[in-house]
Chains A and B, each alone.
Chain A
Amino acid sequence: MNRAEKALHALKQMDELTEMDSPVHRLSALSKLLVTLLFILITVSFHKYDLTGVFMMALYPYVLFQLSGISFRLCIYRMRYAIPLVAMIGIFNPFFDRDPLLQIAGISISGGMISFLTLLLKGMLCLCASFLLVSTAKIDDLCAALRRMHVPSLLVTVFMLTYRYISVLTEEVALMTDAYHLRAPGQKGIAFHAWGSFLGQLLLRTMDRAQELYAAMLLRGYNGEFPDLQKNENRTASWIWLITWAVIFLALRWLNIPDLIGRMFMR
């Protein structure tokens, strides 16, 4: 199995996750999308030194992992390439911000280190929430939810067609890669000098497909606007889900929960 085929397999696995049955899967995509957006907004809004505050936001992915039955390990596995990128963004913080911010057991910890950890945690939580969204809501339901949010039809169409054709494109890449390796035995990957023609071929094939696809759309009455994709009506549970999490997120953001808990014990 080459890399492209592995990517295709991973995509198939993601599809299978959306077909699971759990209380979270049964909620409307719109409510899940809104809760995820709110979660990301609130998470990134925490101050750069507010590590405990951001840590409390882990409650949402924790509850979702428990309710949906989706494996946390799978999530970490899927995020393995993204986490280092998030870490790269804040990697220099400890070098630039050296002022000691707190001391733990006599060891002073700099503001840069705390801000780095906060950033890393924020990134991981946002990635987790996004992963949970796409593994509990089907793509067509998400597109319908985006249209309900009045996201322009063109963007939703591009998003939907990209998802539909990513597997076709990946299959094409897999075939081309296999064809290349059959005539270039012993080579690891595709030689640098072949990349131009390889990508050129891929582009030409993609354009051919795009033209034929557009013709197929025109032949069935496409006039620039996709028909209404809405199908899931928001149910009571979805509304309760949305409102409950909105209240929890706002409470976590504006009430210092760790401090409140600490005071309870101090008394």
Chain B
Amino acid sequence: MTRAGYKQDRAAAERKTYSTVTRQMPGVIFLCMLLILWQVLSQAIGKPYLLPSPLSVLESLWENRREIFLVHLPATMEVVAIGGVLAVLSGSLFAILMDWFPWLKRALYPILTWTQTIPVMCIAPAFVLWFGYTVKMRVIVVILVNFFTVTVNLYDGFASVRPERIELMRTYGADRLQIFSMLKMPTALPYFFTALRISIPWSVIGAAVAEWLGAQNGLGTYSRSCMMNLDAAGLLAPLLVLTAFALLMNALLGMIERRVLYWQE
């Protein structure tokens, strides 16, 4: 690379960094203002069991770090991971089947849409009755929360293929399997990643709610026990961990997405 070219690239990189910082700045400033307001309000009210300050939440997190990070976080992550993977697998399988068999799509799609009007969080107590306070119950809640999102997004991805492209492949002699693997799958990939981006926070929420209903371990359980003891700072500390975890997972997913969908604008 020439010296001039290097300078141009460096200037472009600096401009890009500057524009990213400028874009993020209003959000960061607003968040800082909210935290300051929260701190001031909490000190003004002076009742930490009602409104703990952000600093006291951090303090509680630090004091109970061993219990939170070594006992409860792994338990929640286990449910998120198992439930999330099973939701993605089962949702993908249903989307593929609905695309492959149009009669199945006609039979299932309306029911799937209809089931979305039932809030899973509200029927979750029924799962406690059927499966008890088990990991199985919590995993089922996570699966149900995400199944529809994965199925419908992926199916819409398959359906978004331009018919002209299918016909072009048919003129080359492509069979159904080739059309699916060489055209429909790559077309649906951006939709699949959208489903994953939605599913990550919902898996975390689903797992936490299921733990609230009853479990031996987990951040939801920890949060609930803090509520019973009127420990508001302890109640909010696990939420901070869950939020950070969901954000981290989304950032990781974004990196994978950019690598996999390298061909997009």
Question: A and B: real partners?
Answer: no
B: which residues have CB within 8 A of A? none
A: which residues have CB within 8 A of B? none
